[in-house]
Structure 1
Amino acid sequence: MVADATAAHQRLDRWLASTWPDLSRSRLKALIEQGQLTRDGEVVRDPAESVRPGARYVLTLPPPAPAAPAAEAIPLAILFEDEHLIVLDKPPGLVVHPAPGNETGTLVNALLAHCGDALPGIGGEARPGIVHRLDKDTSGVMVVAKTEAAHRALSEAFARRDLERTYLALVWGVPAKAEGRVEAPIGRHPVDRKRMAVVAKGKPAATRYRLLRAFGTACALLECRLETGRTHQVRVHLAHLGHPLVGDPAYLRRLPAAAARLPAELRAALTGFPRQALHAASLAFRHPVTGERLAFAAPPPADLAALLAALGRTQM
């Protein structure tokens, strides 16, 4: 479609929405950000860009995603399983449930293959069985429901915080107090909507931390316990405390001064760590049917374990 003079100075997504009323503005914005629009053959990714009269715009609509996720044979590290639930150790890099850009290769796809016909429909078609989630690059213990009753009971337990969860977090710097509590409301970042932030009108959030080991003044290994369960809570609260996670692509805004004093090889290992150094180390809860207390733990994955070992071997 060629833009005429009446489109001048209009936002691109707004003009497209008026031109193609069958597509919502939010859908068009997403398509633009995914690189599905070209202007005179050049990809355009900014929905707020002004329309250029005389330019030819071509929008490509990707094929529709399947209504339900497909089963995929992906290995799972299962810690416990019965007819009601599964507890597993999620590796880093595994997305929990399908979303735009990650429609396949997720934990849900793996669970559908593992459980067969038992799982679809439990807790919603797109997220069958999922009670809580870990970020793609956060590893560790998760529980998944296999029945609607278990899903409801576990969801209520998470809502009431009637369970125990601990995380291991490798952070830059060493907190002044060996134990502490961060209480700060969390909401969407006012500018970058893909990030969360401590904001005045955010949802209440509280995290307790305990120093497990200090590596000189450069880094520290913390144990964190959540009193609430907000998106990115540990990552946001530790960054707010002044001790962002090693490798965090969203909340590590600048390299701490302590990094300059590290041996070159160790500094390279820390600054090159490809993900946030966060691991869901343990989870304890009552079985939704039997009432038995269950407790599970998983050691840090190989990449984080190797980084901790390197820190432990270095004199600082």
Structure 2
Amino acid sequence: MSNLPIEEIEDDEIELFEHHRILVDKGQSLMRIDKFLTEKVANATRNKVQRAIDAGFVLVNDQPTKANYKIKPLDEIRVVLEKPPRETDVVAENIPLDIVYEDSHLLVVNKPAGMVVHPAHGNWTGTLVNGLVYHFQNLPEMKGNAGRPGLVHRIDKDTSGLLVIAKSEEAMTHLAAQFYHHTIERTYLALVWSEPENESGTIIGHVGRSAKDRKVMDVYPEGSQGKHAITHWKVLKKLRYVSLVQCNLETGRTHQIRAHMKFLGHPLFNDAMYGGDKIRKGTQFSKYKAFVQNCFDLMPRQALHAMSLGFIHPVTKEKLYFETPLPEDFQSVLDRWENYVTLD
């Protein structure tokens, strides 16, 4: 979690943690900030809000404010406190959601790259879950998964694509069972460095945290640690220096595709955590280096997209299948590689 020292309010020895960040809507009418926060923040009372304002814990556009301040459209309001927020605290935020499908039991969302799925250290606001609790009431939570309403699976912050969200307890139970038994169909598209020798294959290797860096997952093919993981892959397009690969998950471990493809010797394009943010194949000519850097700038994230999702509806028992095209940044980089190797 990032510490937020606010020198105008407290001395440098006190650490302040961001609990809430609210961007006021464009159409918001003028309203006293104490009344506004009482309505927006769960379990807040007017007295609690006023005390926090008086103590300097409420900032508007990074400046301390007063209880009678009237908020304006596009004001950024931050509430910072001396204690870190609890992981089960979820603030409802009016975040637009790209809903591909919805009924009374579930919805399928197309998550953009850059959006964190649920609140956690360093990302307490602006997540998919913050948006879900704003748009939907009483979403269920899996046992032991407090603070993550509706979630039965997740994808990485900088991975784009499809997620299924449970809206009822029945849906959550059935969907969780399908994930547990690996009957959910999940297809990802990845742009990886170089061209694999084979056209397709299966990677079987436990995935677990690296002893050197806990943020990174390593592959342990002998099964000495980590969790059993299986990824099926096949090459869709070879572009000399990079390849477009389809990956189908049989299991769903943290960073599974990213770790498995690196283990195979083909890290994802621009995946900084797994070494894909450097030139791994190709010449050292300045023209080529400039081209690759331009592609990195166009897609400043790992080239991974959760393209499709297939499962049995928990109530109707109908087979559902959803697919979403590559987002603009990914498609743009892919087009550039195709043009580059054609002209080269």
TM-score range, shorter chain: 0.7 to 0.9
Letter of the structure 2 residue corresponding to residue 201 of structure 1: Q
Please name the residue that 1:46 is paired with. none
Amino acid aligned to 2:267? P
Alignment of 1:66-145 (within 5 A): 68-115=89-136, 117-119=137-139, 121=141, 124-145=145-166
Which position in structure 2 is the counterpart of 1:270? 295
2:191 to 149, 152, 170: 170
Taking only the aligned residue pairs, the percentage that are identical comes to: 43
Q: Which amino acid aligns with 1:279?
A: H
CA distance in 2, matches of 1:121, 1:284: 22
CA contact (8 A) 1:246 1:270 kept: no
Q: 1:157 to 1:132 in 2, by over 3 A?
A: same
| In 2: Cα distance, 1:61 partner to 1:111 partner | 27
In the TM superposition, residue 297 of structure 1 has moved relative to its aligned partner by: 0.3
Structure 1 runs (4+) deviating above 6 angstroms are none
Over 3 Å counting, the alpha-carbon distance change for 1:121 and 1:202 in structure 2 is closer
Distance, in Å, in 1 between the alignment partners of 2:4 and 2:190 is 38
3-state SS of paired residue (2:284) = helix
- Say whether the 8 Å CA contact 1:36–1:61 is kept in structure 2: yes
Tell me how far apart the structure 2 counterparts of residues 277 and 194 of structure 1 sit (CA, whole Å). Answer: 19
Whether 1:185 and 2:206 are equivalent positions in the alignment is yes
Q: Could you list the per-position Cα deviations for residues 122-159 of structure 1 after superposition, in whole angstroms to 9, with x for gaps in the alignment?
A: 66441000010010000001100001111111111101
Q: The residue matched to 1:87 in structure 2 has which SS?
A: strand
Cα shift at 1:184: 1.2
User: Does residue 241 of structure 2 align to residue 221 of structure 1?
Assistant: no
CA positional deviation for 1:68: 2.7
Whether 1:248 aligns to 2:268 is: no
Q: Is the 8 A contact 1:266 1:311 kept in 2?
A: no
Whether 1:300 and 2:326 are equivalent positions in the alignment is yes
| Consecutive unaligned residues in structure 1, runs of 5 or more | 1-29, 42-56
Determine the structure 2 residue equivalent to 1:4. Answer: none
Does structure 2 conserve the Cα–Cα contact (< 8 Å) formed by 1:122 and 1:147?
A: no
Which amino acid in the other structure matches residue 225 of structure 1? Answer: N
Partner of 2:60: none
Residue in 2 aligned with 1:146?
A: 167
User: Residues 93 and 237 of structure 1: is their aligned pair in 2 closer, same or farther, counting only changes over 3 Å?
Assistant: same
**Which segments of 5 or more consecutive residues in structure 2 lack a partner in the other structure?**
18-80
Letter paired with 2:293: A
Cα distance, 1:255 vs. partner?
A: 2.8
- Residue 156 in 1 paired to residue 180 in 2? no
- 2:236 corresponds in structure 1 to 212
Question: How do residues 45-84 of structure 1 correspond to structure 2 at under 5 angstroms?
Answer: 58=13, 60=15, 62=17, 63=81, 64=83, 65=85, 68-84=89-105
Alpha-carbon contact 1:161-1:228 (below 8 Å) kept: yes
Letter in 2 for 1:243: H
Distance 1:230 1:259, change over 3 A: farther
Decide whether the 8 Å contact of 2:140 with 2:169 is kept in 1: no
Say yes or no: does 1:258 pair with 2:282.
Answer: yes
What is the one-letter code of the residue matched to 1:237? Answer: H
The secondary structure found in structure 2 opposite 1:201 is: coil
Letter in 1 for 2:236: L
Q: Secondary structure at the match of 2:243?
A: strand
The alignment's C-alpha RMSD in Å is 2.2
Decide whether aligned partners of structure 1 residues 266 and 226 sit closer, same or farther in structure 2, where only a CA change above 3 A counts.
Answer: same
C-alpha displacement at 1:263, in angstroms?
Answer: 3.3
Say if 1:178 and 1:264 are closer, same or farther in 2 by CA, change over 3 A: same
Mapping 1:277-316, distance limit 5 Å? 277-314=303-340, 315=342, 316=344
Q: What is the deviation of 1:252?
A: 1.2
Deviation at 1:58, TM superposition (A): 3.5
Cα 1:226–1:121 change in 2 (3 A) is closer
Report the more deviating stretch, 194-203 or 171-180. Answer: 194-203
Aligned 1:185-204 pairs, distance under 5 A: 185-199=206-220, 200-204=224-228
Give the whole-Å Cα distance in 2 for the aligned partners of 1:312 and 1:218: 10
Cα contact 1:36–1:59 (8 A) shared by 2 = no
Mean Cα deviation higher: 234-243 or 303-312: 303-312
What's the secondary structure of 1:263's corresponding residue? Answer: helix
